[in-house]
Copies of this chain bind each other. A is one copy, B any other.
């Protein structure tokens, strides 16, 4: 395609973006128009992609980090022959695959974007998969906005990709000068962006984003640059091509005032079809399998669930060649180090950058790998938005948060995962597990391996007695009744450390003549409703106890089992309602009112009040 055709293609993309937004009555045509020439050149001259076979292992990857430019992406798909004009005009209508922001409902979209600052981090993960795991020559192209360069996550990604030398990654920065509500910090100061990005070890090229020849040369330079990623920093004009909106404030995120006039000014509708270059003939790596030999622990021995996590993960890595572990520079604490020692080629150190940690995993799983992510449960809150968006992407991620709750002891509240259950429960179609036992933990590490969606495994710092034999099965959605009799008058429901406290409490209550059922609710989501229903029918009273804030955790999960209109038992909830300071683990549990003594008192009160 010669330069004149490239210009025509750029105009077509603008026209189609304008038409799509006009048909929808909403959307971001002006943000699409600035990047139209950038994408025209990419599609016609550089992208290698088989739109008929989106799973082809040699396909390049294209991510719109500025996801609001979705009309441009869909116009691009039309130019590639993947989407027809009729479908283009279904943009933003109910049932259409052409959503307001791109999601993998479209087979050519790897991951959902739309929360700014996430596409480049995930793209870096894809590029890392290509370089270190797949070892395939595909390139990852990420279209970035200039506004989103204010997000720290973009700089985590620049640092990460620069350090890893991801030369198959290209960031295309659409510097159109205008954000949502006005000018960006640096407007058209391309040097400001280039200096920053270069400082992180990238190669940079500054171009006029509306000059196809210059853009073409920049992409060629990017492809020829080895040892480091390249950023093509393009000066563009928002709303380029239509005088009514060109470089105008107040024209963000809305259809053009007169679409017909705009299309006319852009030279009218075109129907160019691009013959996109095919991907190279390569084969995806095979993922060898072997029998799984999970670690086994002796009942009565004291083992920390974080140790069991690391050991089980290492074993899983031996059994399955698709398993990858990622950690945020705390693998000695999370025990992901056990995996790293055995499978260094599939261990990815992400340093203290939890957003990039989750983003890398999201990128890696888009290529068919099975990532396990670990850091302290507390620090996973740093990646909340990335987890939320990973769910929109339909990503499959296993996430382990160590150092759960006040039971970590002296380090204090900054290090305590006390909000993690609430965060992960609210993630769409997530799984939330909180084992109390080493054998149980090992089983659950394996159980989530093929589970769709985001699975969270909460582990504890300190060692506790092994309760279960190594052959006991533990499924997602289950629970374990640890004490039970026909005389049970109250149910104690715990998870993790509070199971051990509940067992002590049950013994003490028995001495007082109060028979108590104890349930290990290791599966917080989905919670084992049947077992809870039975306990409610049998005992009429439930005390929930959790090393977590009172909101969003186990207490809420237990009550959710009764939110279908059935009779609800009487409930008392014990949880961490204080702001802990430094203290030993035992002192912390007591101060928070979630130790055996507090459980005994609550159960006794509940039974006597409703006896």
Contact = CB atoms under 8 A, between A and B. Distances in A.
Contacts of A114: 411-415
Interface string A574-611: 00000101111001000100000000000001100110
A513 interface: no
Contacts of A485: none
A200 to B, nearest CB: 6
Nearest to A549: B426
Given A163-B185, A198-B199, A551 B552 contact: yes
Nearest to A548: B426
A391 B113 CA distance: 30
Interface in A113-162: 113-117, 147-148, 150-157, 159
Interface in A314-373: 329-333, 337, 351-356
B392 A413 contact: yes
Interface string A369-388: 00000000011011011001
A195 B185 contact: no
A352 B116 contact: yes
Contacts of A200: 196
A531 interface: no
Interface in A271-310: none
A214 interface: no
B428 A105 contact: no
Contacts of A418: 426, 428
User: For A99, A181, A414, A579, which residue has the most chain B Cβ atoms within 10 angstroms?
Assistant: A414
B582 A329 contact: no
Contact of A419 (B113, B331, B388): B388
Contacts of A94: 581-584, 587, 591
A464 B410 CA distance: 50
A306 to B, nearest CB: 14
User: What copy number does this chain have within its complex?
Assistant: 2
A494 interface: no
A212 B541 CA distance: 66
A448 interface: no
A298 to B, nearest CB: 28
Interface stretch (A219-227, A436-444, A557-565): A557-565
A571 B559 CA distance: 10
A412 B99 contact: yes
Nearest to A605: B565
B559 A180 contact: no
Given A93-B583, A152-B157, A418-B426, 18 more contacts: A27-B410, A94-B583, A100-B414, A101-B415, A103-B581, A105-B581, A115-B378, A115-B382, A117-B382, A147-B351, A147-B352, A150-B353, A155-B155, A163-B185, A199-B199, A384-B384, A389-B414, A551-B552
29 contacts: A93-B582, A94-B583, A95-B583, A99-B412, A99-B581, A100-B411, A100-B582, A103-B412, A114-B412, A117-B382, A150-B329, A151-B382, A152-B156, A152-B353, A152-B356, A180-B330, A181-B330, A181-B332, A185-B351, A196-B200, A354-B385, A422-B422, A422-B551, A425-B552, A426-B551, A426-B553, A428-B579, A525-B551, A565-B606
